[in-house]
Amino acid sequence: MGFGQLSYDMAHLLGGGVLLFSFVLLYQRRLSGVIAAFAAQGALLALAVAWQGWAQGAPGLYLTALLAAVAQAVLLPLALRRLVRHLAVQRAVEPALGIGASMVAGVALVALALMVVLPATAGAGLQAREDLALALSVVLLGMLMMITRHNAISQLVGLLSLENGLVLAASGVRGMPLVLELSTAALVLMLAAVAGFFVFRLRESLASLDVSALHAHRGEREGEGA
């Protein structure tokens, strides 16, 4: 087996692992499982980015891998666990869509990503095309998790998983400037901070992390106005 084939296989193995844990996130029924799966996805993302740095001869990607390992695999999961304990929230995930239906929708989104990316990048190398398809699948599954979960913490994890897909996509493109990768990560982390503020405000106002409570609260306000 030549180096090129080894690089190709390892990139797909690690990228496929990140995608697999997107499905694990959709399957989880409890917040503890969601947070553990997100930490594992972050660790695999760090390995995938580090491998790309070695395969591409891009030392800057090692810093991205280190940031992913520290933030996505350690700090954010610890912060989420502390948040769950501090707020004493219900530990169930509270899906708006059943687990089975979510998995089917996830498979459909992966197929959509393949159908969109592969033809659109016909002029690029095969490895880059497939890496982008994997990354787009992770992004779409993160969006699906945000849509199909009532619990705000689960939605926040979906947003962070979406960020993992963006970082995976950036690392798979040769010559991607490190500053652009870090800017992308900083942007999504800022969104995560806003989402965290939303979580605390929702808990303070409604004593619940179920975003469906917003609709009931809005209905009560409209009733008072009438």
Dump pLDDT digits (tens) for 77-110.
Answer: 988 888 788 776 656 666 777 888 989 999 999 9
Identify the bridge partners of residue 151 per DSSP, sorted by sequence position: 210
Q: pLDDT: is 108 or 206 the higher one?
A: 108
Mean of per-residue pLDDT scores for the chain? 78
Residue 65: CB atoms within 10 A of its CB come to 22
Q: Which residues contact 119 (CB under 8 A, 6 or more apart)?
A: none
Task: Write down the pLDDT at residue 18.
Answer: 95
Is residue 211 pLDDT above 70, yes or no?
Answer: no
pLDDT tens string 2-59: 555 666 678 889 999 999 999 999 998 888 899 999 999 999 999 999 988 888 887 8
In this prediction, residue 25 carries a pLDDT of 93
What distance in Å separates the CA atoms of residue 90 and residue 54, rounded to the nearest whole number?
A: 43
Which helix (DSSP H) or strand (DSSP E) does residue 45 occupy?
Answer: helix 31-56
Q: Residue 175: what pLDDT?
A: 60
Query: What's the number of CA atoms in the CB half-sphere (13 Å) around residue 211?
Result: 17
- DSSP one-letter code for 93: -
**Greatest alpha-carbon span in the chain:** 74
The pLDDT assigned to 1 comes to 47
In this prediction, residue 198 carries a pLDDT of 62
